[in-house]
Structure 1
């Protein structure tokens, strides 16, 4: 046995032992290294995010990815962070999954929140990934799915037909683009108006949508009305003929007297204007008169439609003299009802308006009946003598 063989065997044993220690260290260093466990939830993780991927914050290595699990809603990524680094990080950082290059492996980077908060990322915190870089192989995969769904031969024929249709139409296409640009240029200043119109159209559409049942019911009613008119067409014809005959008879009556009717209406204009001005007074006056009738009927007698009254002469009033007692049209004050139609005991005597009408039975200051022989003679003889 050569003397060098034991030496070579010892050297090989040392090298193998060193390699085993190195592999064991790299394989289990995550298990023996204490760290802060954090979970990142993402809509997807991409194809190049693997275990032991780096976790960075502000470009500094602060931990590593321990596991990447795919779920029906996306991906769940477990991180192990260095305790000292976790103590300096914000309590609610953001998380992005980025790639070093378009073909490189991905890593997780922790970002600062929009507004400063407490410091110290604790064990069990769940973060939400806001951005995942799209790698080139993902694009190739999507393109491959598209190419598998589209028949290349049919796509070639479609592109060939499109090429043939566009060949020689460059000038027409150019004019169409220029015209489109001109139209869009004129529309662009009105975009705000269009936006308001669309918003109003949406509101109007909502109103019509809410009134759909009523509109449909109205159409159903119109259908019933139309059916009724069709079924009663003969009766409708007779009604229209009768209306035409009545209109012709009315024309024969009104036409010869048209001027007189116009004169009558013109004469009625001042009276109608006065009634229009005092129209608010008429309802309360009539209601007050009816109320007075109800109160007076028990004393004077009545049956609800008529009332018995006993009248007598009022002595003490001077006889009419011309022109001293000519009426004076100077009453003013406008329409007013006062306490009518119901006058309570607290409102008596009811207030009234004193107006100058030329009639004042007490202008002579009479406080008791006054006998005037001449006036009595004129009353008995009817003014003869």
Structure 2
């Protein structure tokens, strides 16, 4: 009897175990504990409400997997672990994007993998990460945003506004449609110009920066303009008199120009060649002016005390006389030449060399145009000779015979062989 009871108990325990095993197998089968998946990760800013674990994953409306896990990601985002059926993963392109959308208006959500029209080829691989995700706007969020508006807008006022709007639009549907078509045509023509408009806005920002830099100067100019305007207002009488004088001068100038129109035109025509020559030789004007400035010291020394202080020596051999063949002519055409100006290194000890032959009509040299330096920087003879000559000349011509000494000195020196 005891053995039979023990056997029944053992059978009862086995039955209970088989019953529990069947229940667990049913649960495991329902929860797909024995299913195998290829795992990929989907990152999103948020997953919203009503996205449960085991939610469907679809591609073009076909279920290809399930949501296995949801966890918090970096930077306040979320990460979804998607389990893709092994026989479906080869049908999913590598460039899909994720979208979390509801099945119905108030129903639970699912993950939709959106296949773009163009993009790189190839299929997605296990362990891939999809980081391009869109989350549909939830009805709760819309209602939450509309609720403050509904509390602010009073129903009576809203009804009056809608009634007025309905009355205004009544019978104007055709006109409104025509206006919308016109606006649409405008927008079609404007859309191609949007890039240029954006570029203009970018350049406008640069120009604005430039204006910002110069605004202080503009403000200073405006302030100076105000001061100038005030000064003009104070000097209004003087300015009026000046303008009146200018008008009188203009009348006089007009009369003068009318009377001398032909003369002025002729003067301009006659001065053309002269000005051309002046323009050609203009390069020597700076060196000539600088030479004159540097010569001021020597000239001041020579004419100090309102007297000419020089050593004058007369030369015995005089230049030849002019002949009819020496008639002057304008044949020189060598162009501008400073001839050493403004820094001339020549002196009594370093005489100036003979000037170059100038084509001025001279038939041979007359020695008139050459600077013939004296043999030395001192007087010819001794101071005693000058004193003796002055005494002899004073006896003949009287006192004050310095000029006689100058004129007679060379002849006396030549006669004495000095």
TM-score range, shorter chain: 0.5 to 0.7
CA displacement, residues 172-204 of structure 1 (integer Å, 9 cap, x when unaligned)? 446645665776687788778767655554443
State the structure with more CA Rg. 2
Contact residue 38 and residue 79 of structure 1 kept, 8 A: yes
Aligned ranges 1:208-357 → 2 under 5 Å: 208-230=211-233, 233=234, 235-242=235-242, 244-245=244-245, 248=248, 255=255, 259=259, 263=263, 266-267=266-267, 269-270=271-272, 271-291=274-294, 293=295, 297=298, 301=302, 317-322=319-324, 324-329=326-331, 331=333, 333=335, 341=342, 356-357=359-360
Aligned ranges 1:132-211 → 2 under 5 Å: 132-134=134-136, 138-148=137-147, 149-150=149-150, 151=153, 153-170=156-173, 172-173=175-176, 176=179, 200-211=203-214
Shift of 1:222: 2.4
Does the C-alpha gap of structure 1 residues 167 and 297 become closer, same or farther in structure 2, counting only changes over 3 Å? same
Report what 1:107 is aligned to: 111
Shift of 1:319: 3.3
TM-score after normalising by structure 1 = 0.58
Contact residue 54 and residue 65 of structure 1 kept, 8 A: no
Is there any run of 5+ residues in structure 1 with no aligned partner, and where? 370-385
- Range moving further from structure 2, 51-60 or 38-47: 51-60
When the two chains are superposed, the root-mean-square deviation of aligned CA atoms in Å is 6.0
- Range moving further from structure 2, 235-244 or 174-183: 174-183
TM-score after normalising by structure 2 = 0.55
Equivalent-residue separation in structure 1 for 2:63 and 2:341 (angstroms): 94
Contact residue 297 and residue 307 of structure 1 kept, 8 A: no
Report what 1:131 is aligned to: 133
CA displacement, residues 287-327 of structure 1 (integer Å, 9 cap, x when unaligned)? 24434x27x83997578xx9966677786644333464222
Q: Does 1:49 align with 2:41?
A: no
How many pairs were matched up?
Answer: 340
Report what 2:381 is aligned to: none
Equivalent-residue separation in structure 2 for 1:9 and 1:154 (angstroms): 76
Report what 1:96 is aligned to: 98
Equivalent-residue separation in structure 2 for 1:23 and 1:307 (angstroms): 138
Is there any run of 5+ residues in structure 2 with no aligned partner, and where? 347-351, 373-418
